[in-house]
């Protein structure tokens, strides 16, 4: 829209618009600032109600406690393990399957697509899933965090559509030379598909990093807890059940909310650091999915 004369009403609108948007930005950011301050505050300062924009009295003992707790580092390890392995296997499986489904001459293609589409709208629910994992003997097993979320219908469709848009001619010359479908996939398709691979990989990575519910359902062994689940026990449950940390806290006087805040920070900082650089892939991914889906 371009205008020759900007009326007073328009100017006011623009100013109000900017105020609202800046307000939104501040309201979104403030909770993170608040928590950061509490994490670094002494007990007296942390207990003060009201706004916390910077820690007036600094005390890093909450951090020392959290960073010294083995439970946390173990949970970190579990999360990183499942994120890397889960993302890699997901992208590999989904990619191969999507490539196969992108070929119109694939036998039984429509049946497969229909069956997959159906599962996007209808699922068995958490109880049958739990019983299935139990029946497969995967309870308390790290694979129970990776296998159930291996392939998502939505990701398959996004990748399939992307592959379908790659011109056949690029594959033709390789076929003439006698290359098999798999070789073509690895050597030609994959290098061309880096944008969609990056998008799917990021989606899966964020999913795995934040996942806690499957861990909650399938795993009882504390040594296999993931980060978010450990945090849930500390932050969300009414009791601080995890012996390491609560035992440590009995001997020092850290205000529980400072401890919780430090825990929040320790688990969120990786995402916050990585986020600004990768968010554009996610946005693009949503658009690809929305337009083609």
Establish if 221 lies at the interface with another protein (CB under 8 A).
no
For the bound state, the minimum distance from the C-beta of residue 292 to another protein, rounded and expressed in Å, comes to 12
Strand partners, 58: 41
Site for another protein, residues 173 to 212, rule: CB under 8 A: 175-176, 180-182, 185, 206, 210-212
Classify residue 126 by burial, with Cβ atoms within 10 Å: 0-12, 13-18, 19+. Answer: exposed
3-state helix vs strand vs coil in the chain, percent to 5: 75, 0, 25
Please state, in angstroms and rounded to a whole number, the distance separating the CA atoms of residues 90 and 111: 22
Beta carbon nearer to another protein, 188 or 286? 286
**122-151: which residues touch another protein (CB under 8 A)?**
122-132, 134-136, 147-148, 150-151
Residues 155-174 that bind another protein (CB under 8 A): 156, 168, 172
Instruction: Please report, as residue ranges, which positions from 73 to 102 form the binding site for another protein (by CB under 8 A).
Output: 93-94, 96-97, 99-101
At closest approach, how far in Å is the CB of 171 from another protein? 9
Pattern 2-21, binding to another protein, x per CB under 8 A? Answer: xx---x-xx--xx--xx-xx
Is residue 41 within 8 Å of residue 59, measured between CB atoms? yes
User: Residue 251 or 253: which CB sits closer to another protein?
Assistant: 253
Query: Which residues from 24-63 bind another protein, rule CB under 8 A?
Result: 24-25, 27-29, 31-32, 34-35, 38, 46-52
Report the C-alpha gap between 34 and 267 in whole angstroms. Answer: 16
Choose between 188 and 235: whose C-beta lies nearer to another protein: 235
Determine the Cα–Cα distance for residues 225 and 255; give it in Å rounded to an integer. Answer: 25
Interaction residues for another protein, span 226-285 (CB under 8 A): 228-229, 231-232, 235-236, 238, 257, 260-261, 263-264, 267-268, 271-272, 275-276, 279, 282-283
Query: Is the CB of 105 or the CB of 251 nearer to another protein?
Result: 105
Distances (CA, A) of 254 to 35, 48, 51, 237, 241: 15, 15, 20, 18, 16
Task: With CA atoms as reference, report the closest residue to 210 among 87, 125, 292, 104.
Answer: 87
Of 119, 189, 123, nearest in space to 154 by CA: 119
Stretch that binds another protein, among 67-75, 119-127, 190-198, 243-251 (CB under 8 A): 119-127
């Amino acid at each position: 829209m371009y205008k020759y004369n900007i009326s007073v009403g328009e100017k006011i609108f623009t100013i109000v618009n900017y105020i609202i948007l800046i307000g939104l930005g501040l309201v979104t950011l403030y909770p993170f600032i608040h928590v950061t301050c509490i994490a670094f505050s002494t007990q007296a300062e942390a207990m003060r109600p009201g706004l916390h924009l910077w820690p007036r009295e600094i005390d890093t003992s909450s951090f020392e406690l959290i960073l010294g707790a083995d439970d946390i580092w173990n949970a970190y390890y579990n999360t990183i393990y499942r994120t890397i392995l889960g993302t890699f296997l997901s992208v590999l499986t989904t990619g191969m399957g999507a490539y196969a489904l992108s070929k119109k001459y694939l036998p039984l293609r429509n049946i497969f697509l229909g069956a997959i589409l159906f599962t996007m709208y209808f699922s068995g629910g958490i109880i049958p899933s739990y019983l299935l994992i139990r029946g497969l003997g995967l309870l308390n097993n790290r694979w129970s965090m990776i296998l159930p979320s291996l392939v998502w219908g939505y990701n398959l469709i996004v990748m399939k559509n992307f592959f379908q848009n790659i011109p056949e001619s690029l594959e033709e010359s390789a076929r003439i030379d006698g290359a098999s479908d798999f070789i073509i996939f690895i050597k030609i398709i994959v290098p061309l598909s880096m944008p969609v691979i990056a998008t799917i990989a990021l989606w899966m990575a964020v999913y795995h990093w934040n996942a806690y519910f499957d861990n909650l359902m399938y795993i009882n062994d504390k040594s296999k807890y993931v980060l978010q689940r450990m945090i849930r026990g500390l932050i969300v449950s009414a009791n601080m059940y995890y012996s390491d940390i609560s035992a440590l806290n009995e001997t020092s006087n850290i205000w529980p909310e400072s401890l919780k805040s430090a825990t929040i920070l320790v688990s969120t900082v990786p995402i916050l650091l990585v986020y600004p650089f990768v968010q554009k892939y996610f946005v693009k991914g949503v658009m690809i999915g929305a337009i083609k889906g």
